[in-house]
C-alpha cells in the first residue's frame, strides 16, 4: 500500500495555497483602490477648488488695482465699483482657501502670508490713496503713487499668490503622478493575478491528475479486467493512501470472490453427485401419480413453496379388499432436512398401517418411534375408506379439517388429537368413523391452501374452499371418470386468482377422493355418525 500524505491533506494544502493567493491579491487590490480613491478625492475636493480660488484672488487683485489707479488718476467715482467687486471676490476666495488648505502644513502658511500681503496693500497703499483723493488732497495722492509704496506692496501680494499657486500646481502634479502609478500598478496586478490564476489552475489540474486520475485509471483497468472474468489478476494499490486502501479493499473482495467461486465449483460438483438423491427424495414424498387402490377414487395436487423438497407429503395405499387409506401430512419447514424428516414419517406411517393400526393408533405408533423431535413437528390426517361398508374412518393430528361434500350438504371432520412433535408426555389420537355415500366428495388439504392470503390480507379459509367444492361438484359431470380432477383443478384456479399473483409462502397440497361403489348412506346415518364423531372428539 502506498504511504505518504493523504489525498484529503493534499487537497487541503492546495486549497490553502489558492485561497492565500486570492486573499493577498484581494488585499493588494483593495489597498490600491483605496489609495486611488483618496488621491482622486484630494484632487476633486481640495486641489482643484484651491487652484480656482487662487485664480479668483488673482483676478480680484487685478480688478482692485485697476479700479484704484483709475480713481486716483481720473478722480471718477465710477472706478471704485470694480475696486469694491474685486475686494469681495478676493475676500471670498481667501475664505475658501482657508477652508480648503488652511490646515495643510505645506499651504497653510502661504495662505496666511497672502492674507497679510493683501491686507497690507489695501491699508497702506490702495485705501490710503483712495482716501486722499476723496479728501481732495490730490497732490498727496500723487506723491503716494509716485513713491511706489502701493505698487511694491501689490507686487509682494502678487508674488506670494504666485508662490501659493506654484505649490498647489506642484502638489497636483504629484498627485496626478501617484494616480497614474496606482492605475499602472492595478493593471499590472490584474494581469499578474490572471497569469497566476492560470498557473495555479494548471498546477491544480496536474496535481489532481497525478494524485487521482492516473491512480484511478490504473485501478479501474485492473477492476474492469477482473469484472470481465480475469479473477486471477491482482488489484494494485496506487496513489495516495485513500486510493491505496480502496485498491486493497477491492483486492480483498477479489480474493473472497475467487474463494467463493472455488467453493461454488466444489458445491456444484457435490450437487451434481447428490442431485439424483434429492430428486429421488422428492419422488418418494410425491409420486407422479397415485397408484390405483380398490374402492377409492383419488386426485392429488401438490405445489412446493420453494425448491424441489418440501415438508408436505401424501399417499394412497391399499389396506385389503375394498379398503384404502388416504394420508396427508405437513411437516414444519422446507428444504432437505424437512424432506428427510418427512420421508421418515412417511415410512413409519405406512409401516403402522401395514401392521393393521387404526388411524389414531397409527399416529401414536409413529410418535412413539420418532421420540423427541426437538423443535420439529408435523400435522396430518389418515382417512380409511371402506367401500363395502360405505364408511370413512379417520384421525386428525392438528391438521386442517376434512371437508365432505354430498350435493349441497357440507360436513367438516375436525381434529381428533394434537400435532405430532416433541415428546411432552402421553399423547393419543382418537379414530372417528362416519358414513360416506358413493356420491360424496372428500377434500383434504394442507394449511398452505387455507392460509393463502389475498392482497388485503384475508385468508382463503375452509368455508371458501367448501363453497368452491360444492360449486365445482354441481357443475361437474358426475358420471365422468375425471370429475375429481375437474374439482381439484377448479379449486387451484380459484386459489391462484385469490392470491392475485403473489408467491407461495407455504407448500400447497390438495387431495380430492371418494368411493367407487354405488349406494349411499342415509342422512340419519350421517347425522348419527357425525354426532359420534363429535362425542369421540370431545
**209 located within any domain:** no
Give the position of cell 380398490: 294
Same domain (yes/no): 356, 494: yes
Same domain (yes/no): 297, 424: yes
For residues 83 and 71, the answer to whether their CB atoms sit within 8 Å is yes
pTM: 0.48
259, exposed or middle or buried, with CB in 10 Å at 0-12, 13-18, 19+?
A: exposed
State the chain's maximal CA–CA distance in angstroms: 182
Q: Which of 157, 187, 203 marks a domain boundary?
A: 203
Complete DSSP assignment for 110-136:
HHHHHHHHHHHIIIIIIHHHHHHHHTT
Q: What is the mean pLDDT of residues 237-254?
A: 79
Say if residue 305's pLDDT is above 70. Answer: no
Give the position of cell 372428539: 537
Same domain (yes/no): 298, 151: no
519 vs 400, residue with greater confidence: 400
Nearest to 434 by CA among 397, 484, 383: 383
Same domain (yes/no): 172, 314: no
Instruction: Quote the number of domains for the chain.
Output: 2
Q: What is the mean pLDDT of residues 298-319?
A: 79
**145 located within any domain:** yes
Q: Which of 89-98, 218-227, 383-392, 454-463 has the lowest mean pLDDT?
A: 218-227
66, exposed or middle or buried, with CB in 10 Å at 0-12, 13-18, 19+?
A: middle
**pLDDT tens, residue by residue, 103-126:** 888 888 988 898 898 888 888 888
297, exposed or middle or buried, with CB in 10 Å at 0-12, 13-18, 19+?
A: buried
User: What Rg value do the Cα atoms of the chain yield, rounded?
Assistant: 61
What are the backbone angles phi and psi of residue 471, rounded to the nearest 5°?
Answer: -65, -40
Q: What is the mean pLDDT of residues 20-24?
A: 82
Residues of the chain with pLDDT > 70, as a percent, come to 86
Q: What integer pLDDT is reported at residue 142 of this predicted model?
A: 81
**pLDDT tens, residue by residue, 481-533:** 688 999 999 999 999 888 876 666 677 899 999 998 653 433 334 344 444 44
Same domain (yes/no): 414, 532: yes
**278 located within any domain:** no
Give the span between the Cα atoms of 483 and 477, in whole angstroms.
Answer: 6
Nearest to 302 by CA among 312, 294, 292, 293: 312
- pLDDT tier for residue 196 given thresholds of 50, 70 and 90: confident
Say if residue 317's pLDDT is above 90. Answer: yes
Q: What integer pLDDT is reported at residue 473 of this predicted model?
A: 86
Q: What integer pLDDT is reported at residue 327 of this predicted model?
A: 95
Give the span between the Cα atoms of 1 and 246, in whole angstroms.
Answer: 10
Average pLDDT value over all residues in the chain: 81
- Which domain does 461 fall in, by range? 293-537
Q: Which of 203, 223, 238 marks a domain boundary?
A: 203
What are the backbone angles phi and psi of residue 105, rounded to the nearest 5°?
Answer: -60, -25
**283 located within any domain:** no
What are the backbone angles phi and psi of residue 273, rounded to the nearest 5°?
Answer: -75, -35
Q: Which of 203, 236, 270 marks a domain boundary?
A: 203
Question: In this structure, what C-alpha cell is assigned to residue 533?
Answer: 364423531
523 vs 299, residue with greater confidence: 299
Q: What is the mean pLDDT of residues 273-302?
A: 64
Q: What integer pLDDT is reported at residue 3 of this predicted model?
A: 52
**500 located within any domain:** yes
Q: What is the mean pLDDT of residues 31-52?
A: 82
**248 located within any domain:** no
Count of all residues that appear for the chain in the document:
538
Characterize 375-397 residue by residue with b for buried, 16 or more Cβ atoms within 10 angstroms of its Cβ, and e for exposed: ebbbbbbbbbbbbebbbbbbbbb
203 vs 264, residue with greater confidence: 203
Q: What integer pLDDT is reported at residue 527 of this predicted model?
A: 41
Same domain (yes/no): 197, 298: no
Q: What integer pLDDT is reported at residue 474 of this predicted model?
A: 86
Q: What integer pLDDT is reported at residue 272 of this predicted model?
A: 47
Give the span between the Cα atoms of 395 and 417, in whole angstroms.
Answer: 8
**pLDDT tens, residue by residue, 149-176:** 888 888 888 898 888 888 888 888 888 8
**188 located within any domain:** yes
Q: Which of 49-58, 150-159, 250-259, 382-391 has the lowest mean pLDDT?
A: 250-259
CATH code of residue 107: 1.20.120.1730
Q: What integer pLDDT is reported at residue 271 of this predicted model?
A: 46
Same domain (yes/no): 157, 51: yes
Same domain (yes/no): 18, 150: yes
Q: What is the 3-state secondary structure (H, E, C) of 183-210?
A: HHHHHHHHHHHHHHHHHHHHHHHHHHHH
Q: What is the mean pLDDT of residues 216-224?
A: 82
List the strands of the sheet with 508-515, edge to edge. Answer: 296-303, 508-515, 441-445, 402-406, 409-413
CATH code of residue 369: 3.60.40.10
Say if residue 329's pLDDT is above 60. Answer: yes
Nearest to 521 by CA among 441, 439, 442: 439
**48 located within any domain:** yes
Amino acid at each position: 500500500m502506498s504511504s505518504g500524505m493523504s489525498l484529503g491533506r493534499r487537497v487541503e494544502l492546495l486549497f490553502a495555497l489558492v485561497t492565500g493567493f486570492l486573499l493577498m491579491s484581494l488585499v493588494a487590490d483593495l489597498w490600491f483602490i483605496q489609495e486611488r480613491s483618496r488621491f482622486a478625492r484630494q484632487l476633486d475636493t481640495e486641489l482643484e477648488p484651491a487652484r480656482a480660488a487662487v485664480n479668483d484672488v488673482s483676478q480680484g487683485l487685478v480688478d482692485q488695482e485697476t479700479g484704484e489707479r483709475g480713481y486716483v488718476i481720473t478722480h471718477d467715482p465710477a472706478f471704485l465699483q470694480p475696486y469694491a467687486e474685486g475686494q469681495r471676490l478676493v475676500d471670498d476666495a481667501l475664505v475658501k482657501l482657508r477652508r480648503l488648505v488652511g490646515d495643510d502644513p505645506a499651504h497653510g502658511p502661504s495662505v496666511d502670508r497672502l492674507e497679510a500681503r493683501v491686507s497690507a496693500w489695501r491699508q497702506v497703499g490702495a485705501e490710503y490713496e483712495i482716501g486722499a483723493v476723496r479728501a481732495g488732497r490730490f497732490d498727496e495722492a500723487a506723491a503716494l503713487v509716485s513713491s511706489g509704496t502701493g505698487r511694491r506692496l501689490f507686487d509682494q501680494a502678487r508674488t506670494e499668490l504666485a508662490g501659493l499657486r506654484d505649490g498647489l500646481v506642484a502638489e497636483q502634479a504629484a498627485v496626478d503622478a501617484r494616480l497614474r502609478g496606482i492605475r499602472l500598478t492595478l493593471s499590472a496586478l490584474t494581469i499578474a493575478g490572471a497569469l497566476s490564476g492560470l498557473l495555479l489552475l494548471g498546477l491544480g489540474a496536474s496535481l489532481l491528475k497525478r494524485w487521482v486520475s492516473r491512480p484511478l485509471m490504473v485501478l479501474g483497468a485492473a477492476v474492469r479486467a477482473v469484472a470481465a472474468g480475469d479473477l486471477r489478476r491482482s488489484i494494485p494499490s496506487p496513489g495516495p493512501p485513500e486510493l491505496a486502501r480502496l485498491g486493497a479493499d477491492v483486492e480483498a473482495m477479489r480474493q473472497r470472490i475467487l474463494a467463493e467461486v472455488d467453493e461454488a465449483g466444489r458445491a456444484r460438483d457435490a450437487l451434481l453427485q447428490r442431485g439424483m438423491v434429492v430428486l429421488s427424495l422428492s419422488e418418494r414424498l410425491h409420486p407422479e401419480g397415485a397408484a390405483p387402490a380398490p374402492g377409492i377414487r383419488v386426485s392429488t395436487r401438490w405445489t412446493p413453496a420453494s425448491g424441489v423438497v418440501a415438508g408436505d407429503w401424501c399417499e394412497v395405499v391399499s389396506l385389503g379388499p375394498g379398503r384404502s387409506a388416504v394420508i396427508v401430512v405437513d411437516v414444519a419447514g422446507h428444504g432437505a432436512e424437512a424432506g428427510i424428516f418427512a420421508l421418515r414419517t412417511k415410512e413409519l406411517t405406512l409401516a403402522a398401517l401395514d401392521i393393521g393400526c387404526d388411524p389414531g393408533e397409527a399416529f401414536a405408533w409413529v410418535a412413539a418411534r420418532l421420540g423427541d423431535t426437538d423443535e420439529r413437528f408435523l400435522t396430518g390426517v389418515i382417512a380409511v375408506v371402506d367401500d363395502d361398508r360405505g364408511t370413512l374412518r379417520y384421525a386428525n393430528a392438528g391438521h386442517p379439517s376434512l371437508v365432505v361434500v354430498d350435493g349441497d350438504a357440507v360436513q367438516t371432520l375436525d381434529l381428533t388429537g394434537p400435532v405430532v412433535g416433541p415428546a411432552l408426555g402421553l399423547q393419543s389420537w382418537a379414530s372417528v368413523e362416519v358414513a360416506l355415500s358413493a356420491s360424496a366428495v372428500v377434500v383434504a388439504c394442507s394449511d398452505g391452501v387455507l392460509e393463502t392470503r389475498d392482497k388485503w390480507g384475508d385468508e382463503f379459509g375452509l368455508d371458501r374452499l367448501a363453497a368452491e367444492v360444492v360449486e365445482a361438484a354441481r357443475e361437474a359431470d358426475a358420471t365422468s371418470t375425471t370429475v375429481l380432477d375437474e374439482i381439484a383443478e377448479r379449486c387451484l384456479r380459484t386459489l391462484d386468482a385469490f392470491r392475485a399473483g403473489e408467491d407461495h409462502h407455504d407448500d400447497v397440497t390438495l387431495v380430492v377422493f371418494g368411493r367407487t361403489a354405488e349406494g349411499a348412506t342415509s342422512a340419519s346415518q350421517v347425522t348419527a355418525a357425525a354426532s359420534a364423531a363429535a362425542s369421540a372428539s370431545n
